[in-house]
Amino acid sequence: MEQGGIRLEWLTGAVKEKWLRLLAEAELTYEGDPERCIIARDGEEICATASIDGDVVKYVAVRGGYQNQGLSSMAVSGILEDAMMRGKKKLFLFTANDKTASFSPLGFSHIASFRGVSLMEWGFLKISDYANKLSAYKADGKNAAIVMNANPFTLGHRHLIQEASKNADRVHVFMVKENRSVFPFKARYRMVKEGVSDLRNVIVHPGSEYILSSVTFPSYFIKEAGEKSAWQAGLDIKVFQKYICPALDIRVRFVGEEPFDLATKAYNEKMKEILLPEGIEVREIKRLETAGEAVSASRVRKLLSENKSIDHLVPDSSKRYLETEDGKMIIGRLRENGN
């Protein structure tokens, strides 16, 4: 693709230093090499760029002096065309609030904003489609939600769900779908679904890219703190408040008390900041303890890595999974690599 002498090409190592300087000039933080990266060149000058990493369009930048020439759209269009050829059906983009209008003509639609940052999406299925699908489970009464990773499912997780079920007419449990944990999504979903099957007012949902994912809250998976984590957490919660809560008439979100993990504690506080003004209660449940120590997934993983018993920390559904071939393989990796 070429426009007025400016041509698009793929980033190569030969011009990477120039590319990095462009990112720095645009005040974009380099977070590692993207999956695919396209650049617009005017002779030897890199004047614009856009990248894709997973399902996120990132590193969109235009050099000063080349503004208002449509180069941002040119670079993003090039990366979108490549994504479609590779079978991508869904992409996301973070951008400043005042720049959302420039991406709308390319097919991006606004999802939510927080602290000057907007999350946009591109593709055939939108968040409204996901919300409509969830609304099939909408019912009268006091509806509550829990979002959990359960890596693996412990008696602490069971305690949180059980306490919520006592204090609500219906509890929707959303399982984090991202496969960035020791235990894969299918295993975690199975352990939780089987582990709460006796609680008749609990519905376990597979998560999505809209709930605690590498799209809405990438910092969650590396337990990163700081300003970046704060606005990502805010966006994730705004998406939940704006779409998930109305779809199911969620009036309370239950969370486990978090005295140690600063990132999770900050996330819980951010929930109160955003949800409470919207009439959605955030209720913290005191952690279950054994022998004066909190029951946690990290504690279970540590004991498994040390070849010690975890029978007093996990429900039967988790024990059954750990006895499967897949479960034994995970235990083997934990013992080899630690938790």
Using one digit for the tens of pLDDT, what is the confidence trace for 73-82?
Answer: 999 999 999 9
Mean pLDDT of 249-260: 89
For residue 227, name the pLDDT band (cuts at 50, 70, 90): low
The domains of the chain are located at 2-96, 129-287
> Over the stretch 311-338, which tens digit does the pLDDT of each residue have?
999 999 999 999 999 999 999 999 998 7
The per-residue pLDDT for 292 is 82
Q: With bands split at pLDDT 50, 70 and 90, how would you rate the model's confidence at 247?
A: very high
Predicted pLDDT of residue 229: 73
| pLDDT of residue 293 exceeding 70 | yes
What is the CATH code for 2-96? Answer: 3.40.630.30
Task: Using CA atoms of 298, 301, 302, 303 in order, give the dihedral in degrees to the nearest 10.
Answer: 120
Burial pattern 150-185, b for ≥16 Cβ within 10 A else e, equals bbbbbbbbbbbbbbbbeebebbbbbbbbbeebbbeb
Q: What is the pLDDT of residue 108?
A: 96
User: Above 80 in pLDDT, residue 219?
Assistant: no
pLDDT tops 70 at residue 253 = yes
Determine the pLDDT at residue 260.
66
Question: Do residues 287 and 295 touch, judged by C-beta distance below 8 A?
Answer: yes
Burial class of residue 295 in the structure, from the number of CB atoms within 10 Å of its CB (0-12 exposed, 13-18 middle, 19+ buried):
buried
pLDDT recorded at residue 290? 87
Mean pLDDT of the chain: 91
DSSP E strand stretches across 176-295: 202-206, 250-256, 281-285, 289-290, 293-294
Give the CATH number of domain 129-287; options: 3.40.50.620, 3.30.450.20, 3.40.50.700, 3.30.930.10.
Answer: 3.40.50.620
**Tokens representing residue 292 in the block:** 């004066």
Mean pLDDT of 259-274: 83
Contact between 71 and 52 (Cβ < 8 Å): no
Contact residues for 237 (Cβ-Cβ < 8 A; gap 6+)? 267, 270, 271, 274, 275
And the tokens for 6? 């400016």
* pLDDT for position 259: 67
Strand 36-42 and strand 45-53: the pairing is antiparallel
- My answer on whether omega of the bond before 152 falls inside 30° of 0, hence cis, is yes
pLDDT at 223 over 60: no
What tens digit of pLDDT does each residue of 230-241 get?
A: 788 899 999 999
Q: pLDDT confidence of 226, banded at 50, 70, 90? A: low
Residue 224 has pLDDT above 90, yes or no: no
pLDDT average, residue stretch 98-124:
93
Query: pLDDT of 1-40, one tens digit each?
Result: 556 678 999 999 999 999 999 999 999 989 899 999 999 9
- Look at residue 225 in the predicted model and tell me its pLDDT: 54
Cα separation, 247 vs 208, whole angstroms: 15
Residue 257: its pLDDT value, please? 87
222 pLDDT higher than 70? no
Q: What is the structure's pLDDT at 263?
A: 74
